[in-house]
Structure 1
Amino acid sequence: METRTRYFLLKVIIASAFALAIVATPEDALAQSEREPPLIEPDVEPQPVEQALVDSENFEVAAVAGWLNIEDFGSSFMYGGRLTYNISESFFVEAGLGFAEAEDTSFERLAGDVQLLPDDDRDYRWYNLNLGYRLLPGEAFFPGGYVFNTNFYLTAGAGATDFAGDNRFTINYGAGYQMLFTDSLSAHINVRQHLFDSDILGEDKTFVNTEVSAAISVFF
């Protein structure tokens, strides 16, 4: 009888100890994990990233400068300005104005004193209204961890050109690349073709004049 009693008490003690261990294990493990440092400490600190985005304002004004190749009249320095209204993230409307001065033709240079156009008629001025579409938005990476948003876009439109004492209907088309330095300042590189019909050289022909220019623009 005494043996059975001892055996019963031993079973009760073992069961109690086992139950206590089960109950205590999660808390003990948590306390131990808080006391002990992790085996591997990460050495990576999150860095804040600031990207230049298009300003919430819809208007953009740009100062433009570059070169204009006037067919048969050489390449000339050009300058002008553009005013852009951003309809959406993809589409925009642009009004442009530009100035240049035509050089001598190859015939004039070879003939000497012969002048096809007086100096006053060599002033070249154009203005147009274009529709643009941003085709490939992306990013440009520079040393030092600098990242700038970019846009590749297409543009086309119509306007007029004042040249050689006459005003001519002109169409233009081209492409551009924009880089946003801040949320209100960006730079552009453009290549465009300006086409108009004229008989300046004695016969009707379509003049194809190529513009290569750069611009700095500000959103407002």
Structure 2
Amino acid sequence: MLRWTRIQRLLPVTLGLLLFQSANSFAQTSPDVTIIEPSKKVDTVKYAALDDEQFEFGISVGSLSIEDFGNSAVTTFKFAYHVTPKWMTQFEYGRSEVGVASFEEVVNNRFLSDEDRRFTYTNLTLGYRALYGRSFFGGKNRFNSNIYLNAGVENIDFAGQSNTGLVIGTTYKTVLTDWLTLNLDLKNHIFEREFLNDEKLTQNIEFGVGAMIMF
């Protein structure tokens, strides 16, 4: 009984020594392990370098919906100054020729002269870059793009009157090259207008597409 107990005690030690000797022999006879590293390194991503142009000048064309007078073509000249990467100021001059309103056709009478049908505005706005990213045209063309929120004051000449109002809107600006941008503008010209003894606050929506040169 004592011998069997001794065998049970010596058996784990014997097995451990055998395993250690086998592992040591395998390590001496096996070849060295060589780690193969790829020769090609992944290129570091490089962002497009943009020039430091702060000024823009350009033109846009579009449609102006004048309350009570329908839609008319509008042309706008712009000058912008980028104060910081996120803020810019912009000066605009726009001009449109208003057609005959539907109520004038109903009564068969023109209430405005040709000169009074000229709708012109000048404004000064402050723009904030709310979003920025990239626009994709096709599979290979990628352009830096920004969305600006704009607000400011303006002077409007229409129907023989000169009024001060507000202008609010947004601009989707795509940088085509380091000197040219493509712009989509949506604006609302808000001002009080008196016409035929009726004074009211009018909303006049404008949509335009244009290009601006950076310098």
Matched, 1:158 2:148: no
Q: Are 1:77 and 2:77 an aligned pair? A: no
Match of 2:205 among 205, 210, 213: 210
Amino acid in the other structure paired with 1:79? T
Aligned to 2:191: 196
* Map of 2:90 onto structure 1: 94
- Going from structure 1 to structure 2, the CA distance change for 1:109 and 1:51 (only over 3 Å counts) comes to farther
Question: What is the number of residues matched between the two proteins?
Answer: 185
Q: CA RMSD in A?
A: 2.6
Q: Deviations over 1:29-80 (max 9, x none)?
A: 99xx9xxxx79886x9969967373x31211112111000010011000002
Q: Which has the higher helix share?
A: 1
Cα distance, 1:139 vs. partner?
0.7
User: Structure 2 length as normaliser, TM-score?
Assistant: 0.78
> Which of the numbers 115, 119, 126 marks the counterpart of 1:124?
119
Which sections of structure 2, spanning at least 5 residues, go unmatched? Answer: 1-30
Distance 2:55 2:173 in 1: 15
Shift of 1:129: 0.3
Q: Mark the CA change 1:52 to 1:192 in structure 2 (over 3 Å): closer, same or farther.
A: farther
Q: TM-score, normalised by structure 1?
A: 0.76
Which runs of no fewer than 5 residues in structure 1 stay unpaired? 1-24
Q: What is the aligned partner in structure 1 of residue 48 from structure 2?
A: 51
Change (3 A) 1:52 1:115: farther
**Counterparts of residues 12-51 of structure 1 (less than 5 Å):** 51=48
Q: Deviations over 1:112-149 (max 9, x none)?
A: 2x111111110010000000000001111232422100
Q: Is the 8 A contact 1:59 1:86 kept in 2?
A: yes
| Identity fraction in percent | 31
Q: What's the secondary structure of 1:217's corresponding residue?
A: strand
* Counterpart Cα distance in 1 of 2:118 and 2:186: 21
Residues 41, 142 of structure 1: alpha-carbon distance in 2 compared, 3 angstrom cutoff? farther
Structure with more of its chain in strand, by fraction: 2
C-alpha separation in 2, matches of 1:52 and 1:174: 29
